[in-house]
Structure 1
């Protein structure tokens, strides 16, 4: 996806993708950001459009490097994701279209702007295994909602189904290995 964005959509769209998967913010909270909100910062303070909650998002080292690279020739008050028309940022619809184009070229199905947030959650869980942190991050009522949201439940079902068979299974029976069978 990243390669597809870089080659076919441009650096702005690549950076949007990278920013989204590294922060977990909603597209509605990403697009209005300006250079001054992220340049030379270790964290981003955002009032979420949907929930009105103030959030502190920490910027990892990879994203810091990309922010510096991306904003190097930009003015402090410029939008990070400026529209080519006037003094505004791109719309969520424009962001969706760019991601869709890259996904189509890369052969990826079911991609939307919200996929960035879900990708962040999925990989955060795979690395840290802490659903409670993600539940709080996403403001979900339960960890089961968070698991469903990031697609872990389906992954676990698939893994447990494909890694499971009963053919020629050895079981412990009073300290002796015996073969298991069904009746």
Structure 2
């Protein structure tokens, strides 16, 4: 499968240099193609990226459909469409084997959210007597109060903090930067972590500017953030499956419920399209009735 790896490497460089995508996004695109490579290897199918046809792709998708849900299946198909479109674009192929492949319809799932009480309970369950307690509190406060993606959280640098102006600089998808407001209470917890915990750590070379560090003085991983949240949810017997993204969903929902406009929320979340932000319009009917009664001229 060396031939596949060669074209995959070229494709990764294209995503990185031509399209300016983040490493996380490139990894996800590559993972979709590697699934197809694994399928070909397991079934001893000797077809190169330039010769593989629609029939083989259909066999792969049929097998995939028995392993993953419709959402994951749609993502893999989307990744493959992008890869083969690149091969056509570079004149490696005349056509794409994905042209007639349909993406399964996926219902728009409303994101899970936490109430403000649940968020307070989760953060309140952090053991501040432990070495990483202050870090975890500052981390979750930042995640919720700024509505960050977990990748944005672990990539935060000391040089991204503009507390005098009341903002943090966030590097999001495609290395696009935005400034997000950060509240005084969150600033307080970040400063406590910096001045009382981080200052005493032995920091590894190359990580001096990273805000959130692990015990070894290196950048905190996304997996560690998931683990911290999962352990806290178990600790308070929270009957919900949550992740770092749940804090982001809750951030947007609570802003919307309290009267913030969708455009402002879009800018803070770093969504390129307003339609992505519209998924947060899952408000109860009572709230919508109140909006109508308060703002419509024919109330």
- In the superposition, the TM-score normalised over structure 2's length comes to 0.45
Measure how far apart 1:111 and its partner are. 0.7
Contact 2:138/2:186 (8 A) holds in 1:
no
Q: 2:284 aligns with which of 132, 145, 156?
A: 156
Residue 93 of structure 1 is matched in structure 2 by: 223
Residue 141 of structure 2 is matched in structure 1 by: 18
Task: Point out where structure 1 has 5 or more consecutive residues left out of the alignment.
Answer: 161-183
Equivalent residue of 2:179, what SS?
strand
The residue correspondences of 1:1-183 to structure 2 (distance < 5 A) are 1-6=122-127, 10-38=133-161, 40-41=163-164, 42-48=166-172, 50-73=173-196, 74-75=198-199, 77-85=208-216, 87-108=217-238, 109-138=240-269, 139=271, 141-142=273-274, 145-148=276-279, 150=280, 152-153=281-282, 155-156=283-284
Measure how far apart 1:79 and its partner are. 2.9
Which structure has the larger Rg over C-alpha atoms?
Answer: 2
Q: CA offsets, 1:72-129, max 9 Å, x none?
A: 13349353221113x4212101110110010111222121011121121111112234
Count the aligned residue pairs: 153
What's the RMSD between the two structures over aligned residues? 2.7
Higher relative contact order (CA 8 A, sep 6+): 1
Q: 1:57 to 1:135 in 2, by over 3 A?
A: closer
Q: 1:136 to 1:3 in 2, by over 3 A?
A: same
Q: CA offsets, 1:125-181, max 9 Å, x none?
A: 1223412322343315345x4342x3x42x415x58xxxxxxxxxxxxxxxxxxxxx
Q: 1:101 to 1:15 in 2, by over 3 A?
A: same
Equivalent residue of 1:72, what SS?
helix
Greater helix fraction, Structure 1 or Structure 2 = 2
- In the superposition, the TM-score normalised over structure 1's length comes to 0.70
Greater strand fraction, Structure 1 or Structure 2 = 1
Structure 1 segments (4+ residues) deviating >6 Å: none
Task: Point out where structure 2 has 5 or more consecutive residues left out of the alignment.
Answer: 1-121, 200-206, 288-299
